[in-house]
Chain A
Amino acid sequence: MNFQLTEEQKMIQQAARDYANRELILDVLERDAKSIYPARHVKALAELGFMGMMVDPKYDGSGMDTISYVLAMEELSKVDASVSVIVSVNNSLVCYGLEEFGTEEQKEKYLRPLARGEKIGAFLLSEPEAGSDATSQHTLAEDKGDYYLVNGTKNWITNGNSASVYILIAQTHPELKHKGINALIVDRNSPGISLGPHEDKMGMRSSDTHSVMFTDVKVPKENRLGADGFGFKMAMKTLEGGRLGIASQALGIASGAYERALKYSKERKAFGTEIFNHQSVAFKLAEMYAKIEAGRLLCFHAAWLKDQNMPYGTASALAKYHCAETAMWVTTEAVQIHGGYGYVKEYHVERLMREAKLTQIYEGTSEIQKLIISRDIFSR
C-alpha cells in the first residue's frame, strides 16, 4: 500500500490550487451573488487541460489518472464549487461516457472538442418525476428507423445552457422498463430543444442549471451510445465515476471551510486568548480534520480501484456519502466557529455551507448512496 502521491500528482494538485487561489477567488463572491456563469474560468481551465483530464491524449485529453482528478476537484472546490461542478460534469459524466461507450466516429466528432474544453457537455438524466428513481424515464426516444424522435422534459441540468453536447437518457421501449432505455448524443442546437429559466439556486449559483424541453427532436441513429437498450446501464456506470467527482467536490468544500475556520481560530481572540485554545473550538477542528482525512482516503481508494479497472461502485458511493455528510457538517461548524462573521458573505463559509447542501442531493442523494452500500453489504 502506497500513500505517497507522485511528483506529477503533487504538481497537478498545486496547479489546481494556484488557479483557484489566484483566479477563482477574485470573483467568486460576485458570481455567486449575481449567478454569473464563469465563462472566463472554464476557458482558462480548458487551456490548462482540466476539462478532459482523464481522456486519452489520442483524443486530445490530458491522460491523467483518477487520483489526479480527485486532487484537482478538491483544490478547485475549496474555493468555488460552481466551477468544479462544471469540470466534474464535463469530465466524469460526459467525456467518460463517450470515451468508454462511444464509437470511433462518435469520439472523433464529439469527444475531441469536449476533451479540449472547446465545447462543454451536459448529462440529462433527471426528470420532473424521475430523480432518485432513475428507471422511471418519461422522456421518449421513439425509434423511427434511421433516427429517434425525442419528446419530454429533463430537470436540474448542470451546464444546460452552456453545453453544446447533451448526453440524453430516454426511454425507447417502455414495455421493457429500464432495459428499454437508450443514451443518445444530442446536438444542443437541434430544432425542437428549448430551455426553462435559469434555476435560482441556494448554492452553486454560478453554474447554469436549467430544465431542457424536447419537442419532436430528431436524433440520428448513429448518435446512440452502445447497443439498443444499453442506456440505463450506461447511465449507472457513468454515475459511478460521477459520484467520485462529487465526493471529491464535497471533500474540497469541507477542507476549504476547515482551512478557513482553522485560520480564523488562530486570529480571533475571546476571553483573553485565541479561540483555538478553547476546547470547544479545538475539538470541533480536530473532528473536522478527522472526517476530512477519512473522506480523502475514501476518495483515493475509489479512484485507485477505478484506475486498476476494478469494481468501484460501492467505493464511490461510500466516498460520496461520507464526503457529502462531512461537507455539510464541517461547513455548518465552520460558520459556528466564525460566529457572526461566518453568517456574512465576505468570510466565504456561509457560501461553502450552501454549496455543501447540494452534494447531499445531486448525482445520487445520501439516501441513494446508503441504498447502494447496504445492498452491497447484504449481498456478501
Chain B
Amino acid sequence: MKTLVCLSIVPDTTTNIRFTGKMDALDTTGIQWIINPWDELALTRALEIREQAGSGVTQVSVIHVGLKESDPVIQKALAVGADSAFRVNYSPADSMEVALQIAEVIKKDHYDLVITGYDSADYNGSATGGMLAELVGWTSFTSISSLSVSDSMITLERESDNLTETIAAKSPCVLTIQKGIAKDPRIPSLRGIMTARTKPLTVIEPSASDPGTRILTFENPAPRSKCRMVDPSNVDELVNLLRNEANVL
C-alpha cells in the first residue's frame, strides 16, 4: 500500500505573530517554520504502520504545496523516515487551492491512503482533507483518533460526542486525523538527517489555479483584561462583576 501524508508548513507554535502593511499579510520576519503538528502526528502514525510487519504499507511519501523556502522543513519529514517527498511549487491562497494541487498529483500516481491533519496551526482551515476526497472521488473519514492497517485492511476509530465508532474502511480513502493518533512526533536520528539528502524530493510544477478567496485584513485579538481579585467573603461583588462587567451571567 502506498501512503501519502499531506504536510502544511506553519510558524512555530510559540511564534509571536505579527502582520505587515495594511494588516493583510503575515510578517514572516524571523519566523521559524515547522511541520504542522497535526500533520506531523499523521506522518508519525504512517511510519509506525509501515514499520509493523504485515501491515501491507510499503511506502510513505509526503506532499506539500509551497515554495522553495519550505524544502528544509520537508527534509525533516524525510529525516524521520518518509521515503520520498513532493513539493508542488505554488503559494496557495486557501485550502481549496492546496486540495486542487494535491488532487492533481494523486490522479497521476497511484495511492491507497492519503492522510491529513485535522487542522493547520496557522489558518485553522480544517478543510483540505474533505475537499481533497471530493476532488478525487474517494471516501473521506474525519476525526480519526486511531488508525491501524493489517494485511492492507484499514481499521479506524472516530471520536464524537461521547461516542467511539470503529470502522473498517476500503482503500483508497482520505483520512483526516485528530488527537490520539500517535503519542509524540519523532525526533530524527543523526543518520536520518544525513540520509534525508539522498532521498527524492520532487518539485512539481503547479496545475493552473485561480484563487477563489483573498484575505482582506487580519485583526489581532483584544489584549487580555487584567485579573481582578475579589475577597472570598464578598460573593455579591463577584456576582455583580460577572453579570455587569464580564457579561457572562
Contact between B190 and A62, CB atoms less than 8 A apart: yes
Query: CB < 8 Å: which of A7, A18, A22, A53 contacts B190?
Result: A53
Contact digits for B18-56, partner A, Cβ 8 Å, 1 yes 0 no: 000000000000000000000000000000000000000
Query: Does chain A have a CB within 8 A of B229?
Result: no
B194 — which chain A residues lie within 8 A by C-beta?
Answer: 8, 62-64
Query: CB < 8 Å: which of A12, A22, A57 contacts B193?
Result: A12
Query: Does chain A have a CB within 8 A of B189?
Result: yes
Stretch at the interface among A42-50, A106-114, A316-324: A42-50
B196 — which chain A residues lie within 8 A by C-beta?
Answer: 11
Query: Does chain B have a CB within 8 A of A347?
Result: no
Determine the residue in chain B with the shortest Cβ distance to A11. B193
Contact digits for B178-199, partner A, Cβ 8 Å, 1 yes 0 no: 0000001001111101101100
Q: A22-B184, A63-B194 are in contact. Are A47 and B189 (CB under 8 A)?
A: yes
A373 — which chain B residues lie within 8 A by C-beta?
Answer: none
Contact between B187 and A19, CB atoms less than 8 A apart: yes
A282 — which chain B residues lie within 8 A by C-beta?
Answer: none
B64 to chain A, nearest CB (A): 16
Query: Does chain B have a CB within 8 A of A15?
Result: yes
Stretch at the interface among B71-79, B143-151, B162-170, B238-246: B71-79
A15 — which chain B residues lie within 8 A by C-beta?
Answer: 187-190, 193
| Alpha-carbon distance between A14 and B35 when the two chains are bound, in angstroms | 13
Query: Does chain B have a CB within 8 A of A268?
Result: no
Contact between A11 and B79, CB atoms less than 8 A apart: yes
Contact between A11 and B184, CB atoms less than 8 A apart: no
Which of the four size classes fits the interface of chain B? 10 to 19
Classify the secondary structure of A's interface with B.
Answer: helix
| Alpha-carbon distance between A14 and B190 when the two chains are bound, in angstroms | 11
Contact digits for A43-83, partner B, Cβ 8 Å, 1 yes 0 no: 00001111001000100001110001000000000000000
Determine the residue in chain A with the shortest Cβ distance to B184. A22
Q: A7-B72, A11-B75 are in contact. Are A64 and B184 (CB under 8 A)?
A: no
Contact between B187 and A18, CB atoms less than 8 A apart: yes
| Alpha-carbon distance between A267 and B188 when the two chains are bound, in angstroms | 33
B184 — which chain A residues lie within 8 A by C-beta?
Answer: 22
Contact between B75 and A64, CB atoms less than 8 A apart: no
| Alpha-carbon distance between A7 and B190 when the two chains are bound, in angstroms | 13
Contact between B188 and A11, CB atoms less than 8 A apart: yes
Contact between A62 and B72, CB atoms less than 8 A apart: no
| Alpha-carbon distance between A43 and B178 when the two chains are bound, in angstroms | 31
Classify the secondary structure of B's interface with A.
Answer: helix
Determine the residue in chain A with the shortest Cβ distance to B197. A8
Determine the residue in chain B with the shortest Cβ distance to A47. B189
Query: Does chain B have a CB within 8 A of A10?
Result: yes
For window 142-187 of chain A, which residues contact chain B by CB distance below 8 Å?
none
B48 to chain A, nearest CB (A): 16
A68 — which chain B residues lie within 8 A by C-beta?
Answer: 190
Determine the residue in chain B with the shortest Cβ distance to A19. B187
B188 — which chain A residues lie within 8 A by C-beta?
Answer: 11, 15, 48
| Alpha-carbon distance between A12 and B192 when the two chains are bound, in angstroms | 10
Contact between A48 and B79, CB atoms less than 8 A apart: no
| Alpha-carbon distance between A47 and B188 when the two chains are bound, in angstroms | 10
Determine the residue in chain B with the shortest Cβ distance to A63. B194
| Alpha-carbon distance between A10 and B188 when the two chains are bound, in angstroms | 12
Contact between B189 and A11, CB atoms less than 8 A apart: no
Contact digits for B188-219, partner A, Cβ 8 Å, 1 yes 0 no: 11110110110000000000000000000000
Contact between B187 and A10, CB atoms less than 8 A apart: no
Contact digits for B226-246, partner A, Cβ 8 Å, 1 yes 0 no: 000000000000000000000
Query: CB < 8 Å: which of B75, B189, B197 contacts A48?
Result: B189
A48 — which chain B residues lie within 8 A by C-beta?
Answer: 187-190
A8 — which chain B residues lie within 8 A by C-beta?
Answer: 193-194, 197
A47 — which chain B residues lie within 8 A by C-beta?
Answer: 189
Determine the residue in chain A with the shortest Cβ distance to B72. A7
| Alpha-carbon distance between A68 and B79 when the two chains are bound, in angstroms | 16
Contact between A10 and B190, CB atoms less than 8 A apart: no
| Alpha-carbon distance between A323 and B59 when the two chains are bound, in angstroms | 46
Contact between A49 and B190, CB atoms less than 8 A apart: yes
Determine the residue in chain B with the shortest Cβ distance to A53. B190
B198 to chain A, nearest CB (A): 12
| Alpha-carbon distance between A169 and B54 when the two chains are bound, in angstroms | 52
Query: CB < 8 Å: which of B75, B187, B189, B191 contacts A7?
Result: B75
A18 — which chain B residues lie within 8 A by C-beta?
Answer: 187
B35 to chain A, nearest CB (A): 11
| Alpha-carbon distance between A64 and B189 when the two chains are bound, in angstroms | 12
A4 to chain B, nearest CB (A): 12
B residues neighboring A (CB under 8 Å): 72, 75-76, 79, 184, 187-191, 193-194, 196-197
Q: 18 interchain pairs (CB within 8 A)?
A: A7-B72, A7-B75, A8-B194, A8-B197, A10-B72, A11-B72, A11-B75, A11-B79, A11-B193, A11-B196, A15-B190, A18-B187, A19-B187, A48-B188, A49-B190, A62-B190, A62-B191, A68-B190
Which 3 A-B residue pairings sit nearest by Cβ, starting from the closest? A49-B190, A62-B190, A7-B72
